[in-house]
Structure 1
């Protein structure tokens, strides 16, 4: 999930080029319903600041509550927020600063999946 359409488009193109199938949601409730219903989802990428008024960290915690084995990658262009987030990350959650490169995304996903 990302509220920045340009970053979302880049992420989808990048993930597709790496051979991953993508499901996109800009609504946290919908994303959590899909995650709960589809056991084939192995990882999620969530922006730290969602336009829905919810934090990416909160959504990550909710997603892990549904699926504890899920890989979670938090992204943000706010490096201060990422620094704080790193101190409170649930087990298995990784952080990727924006802007990121395809190789960085691939490296993080390989650790999560």
Structure 2
């Protein structure tokens, strides 16, 4: 994740790296920012190596990592389904990934 070092709009703002999470290969698709019901803002991205990484946007803490067979070059989409089960209200997040694989 990167964070601008100032909040101005002059175009001269410096950017510093706030955290890094290594992936197997290069990343072609832009990362996806998801507002997760439990973890808050999370970043999800995938690489040509087929790995998908989900981490906290603020800290870079890895929440989940998954290895797929095919490389990931396209975008991703996420949506949430909220369930109402009395006191156990919760939301499930579903992630769609474009990959070169038959999985």
Structure ranking higher in helix proportion? 1
TM-score range, shorter chain: under 0.3
Structure ranking higher in strand proportion? 2
What TM-score, normalized to structure 1? 0.24
Q: Which has the larger radius of gyration?
A: 2
